[in-house]
Chain A
């Protein structure tokens, strides 16, 4: 049995999902030989610490940790003080300066903790230096949940398709945009109408600009470019056009000719723009689904699709990353 002490930083929607999933899957993980012990949960109000494992039932009903915190430690202070093997970083993303996640990740990696995250900001802002920090400290930085949510993409390319040269990846990486475009097409309603519907359903944020202007998709394009294509690019290198200019008439004209209009991110072209996608193409998925076509030299084109967001779904991608850290054996260490 491998004992792994895990600390969680960030207790929003994804943080709750992580606590729930780690609790639900405890037995299954033990059967695999992995004893994941969640020894701390930290948010902006404080930290819950327990050497024997945080009681999930006790904190899952709480929106923040304000009423249950056992310590007032926050952020980097908590990360350095708590002796864990692995940190899960799920604080809110900021694509401009990457904080507070960037500071959290630097603190964890430099003190020899593996980092698993769904937080795009730090990776978009400084992927190369985080990667180097992880290597220098002999630990891993895993971020499957940052692109396409639960849809396997990074691990699919890095593990399953290993040996292939990846020529390009094109896909739908934002469920909010895809939902809005799908509803506009189905009902012939204008953008603003579909947006308010999405906001009512909790699919779009009160300030939707991050999604609908293509910022979120562009962040994912940067992460894919840097991590899978060894490029060294920034957010400003991506040519971004959002979906706010798309009209229901344009969607109807396209549909009549056998096309849907989707917000497509393209690597290595580094573009995000509304694009005509044939209705019979496997990446032409509807609703909040994400999809990606991976173009390879040996395997042709591989297409994946799945839920791009959601509390439990994102936590699932985080769990996959955690398990993969302890399952990965470098080729030169196998004997």
Chain B
């Protein structure tokens, strides 16, 4: 499984190595390490985010070893949804059963609506909604957008998708 972990390291030599040892010992494959020297915490600690592939059963061992070494684990969790996309909907978003619209994404198993904001200027005026959808990969994001597009057509909603940043 893929796991992301936010650690806080002291600003002294050797800390990064100390943090990596338990990962290495437990056969975690490091996908990325981001070292935020520019975002020191008020206590002068340096936040570091690890993304690793590792066996689920070893997580607790790793966390315990890190604590023993004096490294604080701020957060550790499974990164199932690694891609996200923003979408804006305009129209009768509520009257056309918003719950159902969200459900169509959430029931896919590979994508879910994680953020939703609504603005309703008046009873007979169109509602605008911002949705953030996350999914397990880039292809799944596209599948979720396809679903949303067809829901939009069916419910007469204007679906405003983000521009593709790469040529497809």
From A250, A252, A278, B160 is in contact (CB under 8 Å) with: A250
Residue of B nearest to A264 (CB): B163
Type the 1/0 row for A155-193, where 1 means its CB is closer than 8 Å to any CB of B. 000000000000110100000000000000000000000
Residue of A nearest to B91 (CB): A245
Does B38 touch A at the CB level, under 8 Å? no
Expressed in whole angstroms, the minimum distance between the Cβ of A258 and any Cβ of chain B is 8
Q: Is the CB of A295 within 8 A of B163?
A: no
Type the 1/0 row for B114-143, where 1 means its CB is closer than 8 Å to any CB of A. 000101010001111110100000000000
The listed residue with most A CB atoms (<10 A of its CB), out of B87, B166, B167, is B167
Q: What class of interface size applies to chain A in its complex with B?
A: 20 to 34
Type the 1/0 row for A235-279, where 1 means its CB is closer than 8 Å to any CB of B. 000000100011101101110110101001000010001111110
Q: Is the CB of B126 within 8 A of A247?
A: yes
Expressed in whole angstroms, the minimum distance between the Cβ of A168 and any Cβ of chain B is 4
Type the 1/0 row for A113-135, where 1 means its CB is closer than 8 Å to any CB of B. 00000000000000000000000
Q: Is the CB of B86 within 8 A of A249?
A: no
Does A281 touch B at the CB level, under 8 Å? yes
Expressed in whole angstroms, the minimum distance between the Cβ of A33 and any Cβ of chain B is 40
Q: A253-B117, A259-B162, A274-B160 are in contact. Are A246 and B167 (CB under 8 A)?
A: no
Type the 1/0 row for B74-94, where 1 means its CB is closer than 8 Å to any CB of A. 000000000000111011000
Bound Cα distance from A247 to B128, whole angstroms: 7
Residue of B nearest to A276 (CB): B162
| Complex contacts, B119 vs chain A, CB 8 Å | 247, 249-250, 252-253
The listed residue with most A CB atoms (<10 A of its CB), out of B119, B126, B128, B129, is B128
Q: Is the CB of B126 within 8 A of A281?
A: no
Does B11 touch A at the CB level, under 8 Å? no
Bound Cα distance from A257 to B165, whole angstroms: 17
Does B55 touch A at the CB level, under 8 Å? no
| Complex contacts, B167 vs chain A, CB 8 Å | 167-168, 295
Bound Cα distance from A147 to B114, whole angstroms: 40
Secondary structure dominating the interface of B: strand
Type the 1/0 row for A81-117, where 1 means its CB is closer than 8 Å to any CB of B. 0000000000000000000000000000000000000
Q: A245-B126, A247-B126 are in contact. Are A253 and B164 (CB under 8 A)?
A: no
Expressed in whole angstroms, the minimum distance between the Cβ of B90 and any Cβ of chain A is 5
Q: Is the CB of A275 within 8 A of B86?
A: no
| Complex contacts, A281 vs chain B, CB 8 Å | 163, 165
Bound Cα distance from A170 to B162, whole angstroms: 12
Q: What class of interface size applies to chain B in its complex with A?
A: 20 to 34
Q: A246-B90, A247-B90, A261-B88 are in contact. Are A241 and B158 (CB under 8 A)?
A: yes
The listed residue with most A CB atoms (<10 A of its CB), out of B132, B158, B168, is B158
From B86, B117, B128, B129, A276 is in contact (CB under 8 Å) with: B86
| Complex contacts, B100 vs chain A, CB 8 Å | none
Q: Is the CB of A276 within 8 A of B163?
A: yes
Residue of B nearest to A296 (CB): B167
Q: Is the CB of A276 within 8 A of B161?
A: yes
Type the 1/0 row for B141-166, where 1 means its CB is closer than 8 Å to any CB of A. 00000000000000000101111111
Q: Is the CB of A259 within 8 A of B164?
A: no
Bound Cα distance from A254 to B165, whole angstroms: 17
| Complex contacts, A247 vs chain B, CB 8 Å | 90, 119, 121, 125-126, 128
| Complex contacts, B90 vs chain A, CB 8 Å | 245-247, 250
Bound Cα distance from A170 to B88, whole angstroms: 20
Residue of B nearest to A245 (CB): B158
Expressed in whole angstroms, the minimum distance between the Cβ of B164 and any Cβ of chain A is 7
| Complex contacts, A278 vs chain B, CB 8 Å | 162-163
Using A168-B167, A278-B162, A283-B163 as known contacts, list a sample of 15 further A-B pairs with CB atoms less than 8 Å apart, ordered by residue number in A: A170-B163, A170-B164, A245-B90, A245-B91, A247-B90, A250-B88, A250-B128, A253-B88, A253-B117, A257-B132, A259-B162, A273-B160, A275-B162, A276-B86, A276-B88
Q: Can you sample 11 A-B contacts with CB below 8 Å? A: A168-B168, A245-B91, A253-B117, A253-B119, A253-B128, A254-B86, A254-B160, A257-B86, A264-B163, A273-B161, A295-B167
